[in-house]
A and B are shown apart, each in its own frame.
Chain A
Amino acid sequence: MVRKIDKSKADAYFREKNTYMIIYFIIWALVSYGVVLIAEPLSDVYFNGFPFHYYMGAQGALAVFIILLFVNAIVGDKIDKKYGIDEKRNEEIGKTSVSEH
C-alpha cells in the first residue's frame, strides 16, 4: 500500500543521517589529515612502544575508520527503525525497482 507522508518527516530523516555523517567525517579528517599536519611534534610522544604519529598512521586511523563504519551501520539501522522503515519491504522494493533494461 502506498500512502502520502509529510515531506518534513522525510526531510527530518535525511537531516538526521547527514548530521551524523558530518560528525563522522570530522573525526575521519582529524585522525588522518589532522594528525599528519602535526606529525613532527607528535613524534616525541610514545604510545604502546610507537612514536604517536607513527602509531596513528599504522593502526590508529584505520581502527577509527572501521569503528566509524560500524557505528554508521548500527546508527543507520536505528534511524530507519525510528522512522518506521521496514528492511523486508526495502528488499522487495529493491528487487522490483531495478530499472528495466
Chain B
Amino acid sequence: MDSQFIVSLAIILATFALYIFIAVYNKAKETSDFYVAGRGVPPIWNGMAIGADWMSAASFIGMAGTIMMLGYDGLAYIMGWTGGYLLLTFLLAPQLRKSGCYTVPEFIGDRFKSNTALIIAAICTMIISFTYSIGQLSGSGVVIGRLFEIDAKLGTMIGVVLIAIYAAFGGMKGITWTQVAQYLVLIIAYLVPVIFMSLQITGNPLPWLTYGNIVSELGELDKQLGLSEYFAPFEKGTKWQFLALMFTLMAGTAGLPHVIARFYTVSTMKAARWSGAWALLFIGLLYFSAPAYAAFSRFILMTQVAGSKIAELPAWTKTWVDTGLLQVADTSGDGILQWNELIIANDIVVMATPEIANLGIFVIGLVAAGAMAAALSTAGGLLIAISSAFAHDIYYRILKPTATDKQRLTVGRITIVVATLLAGIVALNPPGAITQIVAWAFALATGTFFPALVLGVWWKRSNSKGLIAGLLVGLAVTLAYIFAAKYGGFTILGIIDTGAGVFGAAAAFAANIIVSLATKPPSQEIQDAVINLRYPEQMTYKNGEVFMED
C-alpha cells in the first residue's frame, strides 16, 4: 500500500463519515419531511443543495476533459448546463411552487385532472431519473475502482450500498444538508488544483483572469503542429449541432424532475427565484473553472509531457496506461513522445492532471473525494425523484389512496433500495459512455417535461388529451432520433444524438397545441387554477375576480 492510497482513502472516508452523520442526524420522521424537507430550506442553502444535485460525475469528472478535446465546441456544455437555470427560474419554478404540489407528476395530474397523465408523467420521471442515475453509479465505480485499484464493478457495488443507505434513511431532509456538505467538498476539490496549476503556469492565483493568454498560446502551439487552433469554432461538429446541443441541455435542465423537486423545498415564490439565483452562482464557480482546468491540462501536456523521452516518462503515465485510458506510442520511432502520439481519454483529464502537474498526494486525494461527492449527491436526488414518483404518485394516489404515512414511507424506502440495486446492476455493464447516458437523459427531459410544464403553466387552453399526446410524441421522437443518429448514421444539419432534444421538443409542443385545440377546452375550474399561478401567494384568482389576503 503506497501513501497515495492511504491519503486518498482517509480523505474519502472522512467526507463520507460527515455525509452519513448528517443524514442520520436528520433522519426524516414524517413523509412531508421525507420528500420536500418540510418546505423550509433557506434559499442560500437550497442553492448549494441544488448545486450538489446538479453537478454530477459528468460535470466534475467529464466536462473539463470534453472541453479539452473539443476546444470551442465543448463550450456548448458550459452555456447549456447553466443557461437552463433562466428557463427554470423564470418560466417554471415559482409557479410550480405556488401550485403546492410535491412532485412534477403530481402537478401534471392536478393541472390536467387526469390519472392517465399522472401515470405517464410518473413513468417519464422514473425513466429519465433512472437513466441519469446509471451514469452516476458507473462514474462512482470508475473512481472507486481506479483509486483502490479494484475492479470497477466492485467499486460500483460499494457506491450502490452507500447511496441506498443514506437516501433511504435520510430522505430529502437528510439529503439537503448532506448535499450542502457535498457541494462544499466538491467545489473545494475542483478549485484547489485549478488554482495550483494557475500559480505554477502563470504565477497568478486567479485562474479565471489569466488563462486567456494560455488559450491563445495553445492556438499558437496548434498552428506550429499544423493542427486547427484550439479555440477555432465548429471544428468538431456543425454550428447547428452546437446550437441544438446547447438548447437540449438548457431545456433539459428546466425539465429534470429531480432538479425541479428542489424548488418545492422553498417556502414561497420569492424564495424560489432567490434559490435559482444562488444555485447558478454556486454552480458557476465550477463552470467558470472547467475551461481553465481544460486549458491548463492541455498546456501542461503539450509543453511538459510531449517532447520528453519515452524512456524517461514519469510514474503517473504507467498507472494510467494500465487503466487503458491513456496511450503513449512512439509511432515515429524517434524515442521522443510527440503530442499526436499521446491519446488521453476525456474522463481521466480531471483525475490525472493533479498527478501530471505533481500537485501532491493531498490534492490528488481531495479530487477523488470531490468526484465521489459529485456522483453520489446527484444519485441521491435522482433516487428521491424515482421514489416519490412511485411511492407518492403511483402507489398512494392511484393504487392505495388509504395508505398511512408509515406505509408510504416504507414503500418510498423500498423503492429507493430496489431502484438503486437495479441501476447498479445496469451500471455494471453500462449501455454507453457516462456522458452519453447523461446527454440522453437531458434529451428525454427536453422532449417530454419541458413542453408539458411550459404549456401547463403558461397556456390555460392546454388540456389532458393535448398533454398526453405531447408527452408520448415527444418521448417517441426523442428516442427515435437518438437511435437513428447513433446507430443509423441519420442526421439533420449535422445534429447528432446529443442534440436530439430539439426535435423532441418541437414535436411535443406541436402535438400538445394541435390536439388541445382540436378537443374540448379544460374546465373553468382548471383554467382559473392556471391563471391563479400568475400571482403571488397573497393573491387568489377565482371566477374572474382577484382576492387579496392581508
Residues of A participating in the B interface, judged by any CB pair closer than 8 Å = 1-7, 9-10, 13-14, 21, 24-25, 28, 32-33, 36-37, 39-40, 43, 46-51, 53-55, 57-59, 61-63, 65-66, 68-70, 72-73, 76-77, 80, 84-87, 89-91, 93-95, 97-99, 101
Contact = CB atoms under 8 A, between A and B. Distances in A.
9 contacts: A2-B540, A24-B86, A50-B215, A66-B277, A69-B273, A73-B274, A91-B267, A94-B267, A99-B101
B467 to A, nearest CB: 19
B480 interface: no
B90 A50 contact: no
Interface residues of B, number: 69
B100 A62 contact: no
A50 B233 contact: no
B288 A1 contact: no
Interface stretch (B156-164, B298-306, B317-325, B531-539): B531-539
Contact of A94 (B106, B234, B535, B537): B537
Interface string B264-284: 000111100110110011001
Nearest to B101: A99
B113 interface: no
B273 A72 contact: yes
Contacts of B101: 99
A62 B39 contact: no
Nearest to A6: B546
B63 to A, nearest CB: 12
A37 B536 CA distance: 38
B280 A66 contact: yes
The 5 closest A-B pairs by CB, nearest first: A49-B212, A57-B75, A50-B212, A69-B277, A49-B213
Interface string B392-417: 00001100000000000000000000
Given A54-B72, A62-B79, A72-B89, A5 B215 contact: no
A76 to B, nearest CB: 5
Contacts of A43: 231-233
A51 B39 contact: no
The interface centre, meaning the residue of B79, B97, B100, B234 with most chain A CB atoms within 10 A of its CB, is: B79
B308 interface: no
A2 B548 contact: yes
A87 B268 contact: yes
A85 B374 CA distance: 39
A51 B215 contact: yes
Contact of A93 (B231, B277, B538): B538
Contacts of A24: 86, 90
A18 to B, nearest CB: 9
Nearest to A1: B550
Contacts of A70: 277, 281
B216 interface: yes
A94 B38 CA distance: 12
A4 B215 contact: no
A10, A28, A43 — most chain B CB neighbours (10 Å): A10
Given A62-B284, A94-B268, A86 B538 contact: yes
A96 to B, nearest CB: 9
Given A3-B550, A54-B75, A95 B216 contact: no
Which of B101, B210, B284, B548 gathers the greatest number of chain A CB atoms within 10 Å? B548
A5 B234 contact: no
B526 interface: no
B329 interface: no
B49 to A, nearest CB: 17
B54 interface: no
B29 to A, nearest CB: 18
Interface stretch (B133-141, B176-184, B239-247): B239-247
A37 to B, nearest CB: 7
A74 to B, nearest CB: 9
B273 to A, nearest CB: 5
B232 to A, nearest CB: 7
Interface in B82-140: 82-83, 85-86, 89-90, 97-102, 106, 110
A32 B79 contact: yes
Nearest to A35: B79
